[in-house]
């Protein structure tokens, strides 16, 4: 069943509901919820922060209202471009004052990986919800600290897993969970591109915590988990480095890794900063298959199964993500694929194991 047919079915149910005697009260309840808007401050005004800000122009439930940056010129530009008031603008020295600002609900961190944990702890202490770009932290130990801090403060910790809300991705997951591919026994994830500027923070181990694995490789880790619907029990990995100057100590260039799952399924994945045209997911079962290429880029995503192509309207991923995250925070909505801190932590446990396996050459058992 295509995503379009699912939409039409849901639309039909909605029409039926409106004909029921209590439809007016239900409609009023839904309107009240949808009138609430999540007020967002972006921390880190680089290229990805800009992408999120632009996408939020089309959001119905989320609005950009604040910024946090160490660069005054960027703050001034964003103030003018997005109509952000002075009182909602912070630098890293004044950021703790955000606790006294009732006009900001959540802070979205698009800063380098090594800053996620300290910034998260500060945001939670200020009583604001947290959205972190992936990976959530440098390692699982930091991730656990972030989860605990947000739980203690009573705030949400979400991770920017935009693919968890992408229509074609969700349709493949739905078909897998419905058994339409039979018993799924194999997943392949290919994630890579040729990275440019050698001075960028993603090639600085102190800021990135690694290399390709901490950037693009997380997509294959996460994709294997939600496509198979299981958590891995073992991991093996191999690292290859062809340019030790560009990819210095602590910065992985290419890692291939394998994961085994309780059902007997296996995943074979590649993470690299040295090859383009690597953005592919492939899922195979006893009755059928699904393939996506591109699978995690900014879109449009292309997907097909043994029954034919999956059709769905392309909507900017970050627009859908922020509206859905507004529903999670404001309405208590439960997404099909989680995007909370515990989900981010599961990926970090696997990242730690991949690095350990690549270093030791041994199979690492999980759980």
Mean pLDDT of 226-236: 98
- Angstrom distance (rounded) from CA 49 to CA 43: 8
Mean pLDDT of 297-320: 98
1-5, 19-23, 90-94, 110-114: least confidently modelled range: 19-23
Domains defined for the chain, CATH in brackets: 31-162 (3.40.50.720), 163-314+341-365 (3.30.360.10)
What's the confidence (pLDDT) of residue 367? 85
- 106: three-class secondary structure by DSSP: strand
- 88: three-class secondary structure by DSSP: helix
pLDDT tens, 102-144? 999 999 999 999 999 999 999 999 999 999 999 999 999 999 9
- The answer, yes or no, to whether residue 30 has pLDDT greater than 90, is no
219 tagged catalytic: yes
What's the confidence (pLDDT) of residue 21? 35
**Quick one: pLDDT band at residue 35, thresholds 50, 70, 90?**
confident
- Angstrom distance (rounded) from CA 116 to CA 69: 14
What's the confidence (pLDDT) of residue 33? 60
Is residue 30 within 8 A of residue 23, CB to CB? The reply is no
Which candidate in 219, 226, 273, 355 is catalytic?
219
- The answer, yes or no, to whether residue 47 has pLDDT greater than 60, is yes
DSSP string, 229-283: TS--SEEEEEEE-S-TTTS-TT--SEEEEEEE-TTS-EEEEEEESS-SSEEEEEE
Of the candidates 276, 170, 242, 252, the one whose C-alpha atom is nearest the C-alpha of residue 203 is 252
- The answer, yes or no, to whether residue 357 has pLDDT greater than 80, is yes
Of the candidates 269, 180, 179, 185, the one whose C-alpha atom is nearest the C-alpha of residue 223 is 269
What's the confidence (pLDDT) of residue 34? 64
What's the confidence (pLDDT) of residue 8? 34
C-alpha atoms less than 13 angstroms from C-alpha of 84 in its C-beta half-sphere? 25
117 tagged catalytic: no
Average pLDDT, the chain: 92
Tokens at 97, concatenated: 């004052």
- Indicate the angle between helix axes 341-360 and 217-228, nearest 10 degrees: 120
Tokens at 50, concatenated: 């800009």
- Angstrom distance (rounded) from CA 186 to CA 100: 51
- 303: three-class secondary structure by DSSP: strand
Which candidate in 117, 134, 168, 346 is catalytic?
134
pLDDT tens, 168-191? 999 999 999 999 999 999 999 999
Is residue 250 within 8 A of residue 355, CB to CB? The reply is no
| Full-model pTM | 0.91
Q: What is the enclosing helix (H) or strand (E) of 67?
A: strand 62-68
- The answer, yes or no, to whether residue 17 has pLDDT greater than 80, is no
Is residue 168 within 8 A of residue 295, CB to CB? The reply is no
- Angstrom distance (rounded) from CA 251 to CA 94: 33
Residues in contact with 137: Cβ distance below 8 Å, sequence separation at least 6, in sequence order: 113, 116, 117, 120, 143, 145, 146, 344, 348
- The answer, yes or no, to whether residue 75 has pLDDT greater than 90, is yes
- The answer, yes or no, to whether residue 6 has pLDDT greater than 90, is no
- The answer, yes or no, to whether residue 88 has pLDDT greater than 70, is yes
């Amino acid at each position: 069943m295509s995503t379009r047919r699912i939409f039409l079915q849901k639309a039909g149910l909605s029409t039926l509901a409106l004909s029921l005697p209590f439809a007016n009260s239900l409609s009023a309840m839904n309107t009240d919820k949808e009138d609430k808007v999540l007020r967002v401050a972006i921390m880190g005004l680089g290229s990805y922060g800009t992408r999120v800000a632009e996408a939020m122009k089309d959001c119905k439930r989320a609005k950009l209202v604040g910024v946090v940056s160490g660069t005054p010129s960027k703050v001034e530009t964003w103030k003018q471009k997005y109509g952000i008031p002075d009182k909602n603008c912070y630098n890293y020295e004044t950021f703790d004052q955000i606790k006294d600002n009732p006009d900001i609900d959540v802070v979205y961190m698009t800063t380098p990986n090594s800053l996620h944990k300290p910034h998260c702890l500060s945001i939670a202490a200020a009583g604001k919800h947290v959205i972190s770009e992936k990976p959530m932290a440098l390692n699982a130990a930091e991730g656990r600290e972030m989860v605990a801090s947000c739980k203690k403060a009573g705030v949400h910790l979400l991770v920017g897993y935009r693919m968890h809300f992408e229509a074609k991705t969700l349709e493949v997951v739905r078909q897998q969970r419905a058994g339409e591919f039979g018993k799924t026994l194999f997943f392949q994830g290919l994630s890579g591109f040729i990275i440019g500027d050698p001075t960028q923070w993603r090639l600085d181990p102190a800021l990135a915590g690694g290399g390709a694995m901490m950037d693009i490789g997380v997509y294959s880790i996460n994709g294997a988990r939600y496509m198979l619907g299981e958590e891995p029990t073992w991991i093996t990995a191999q690292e290859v480095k062809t340019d030790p100057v560009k990819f210095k100590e602590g910065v992985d260039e290419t890692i291939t890794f394998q994961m085994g799952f309780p059902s007997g399924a296996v995943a074979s994945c590649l993470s690299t900063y040295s090859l383009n045209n690597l953005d592919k997911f492939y899922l195979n079962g006893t009755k059928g298959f699904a393939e996506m290429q591109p699978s995690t880029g900014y879109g449009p995503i292309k997907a097909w199964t043994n029954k034919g192509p999956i059709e769905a309207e392309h909507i900017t991923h970050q627009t859908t993500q922020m509206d859905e995250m507004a529903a999670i925070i404001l309405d208590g909505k439960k997404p099909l694929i989680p995007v909370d801190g515990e989900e981010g932590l599961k990926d970090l446990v696997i990242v730690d194991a991949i690095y350990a396996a690549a270093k030791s050459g041994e199979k690492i058992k999980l759980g």
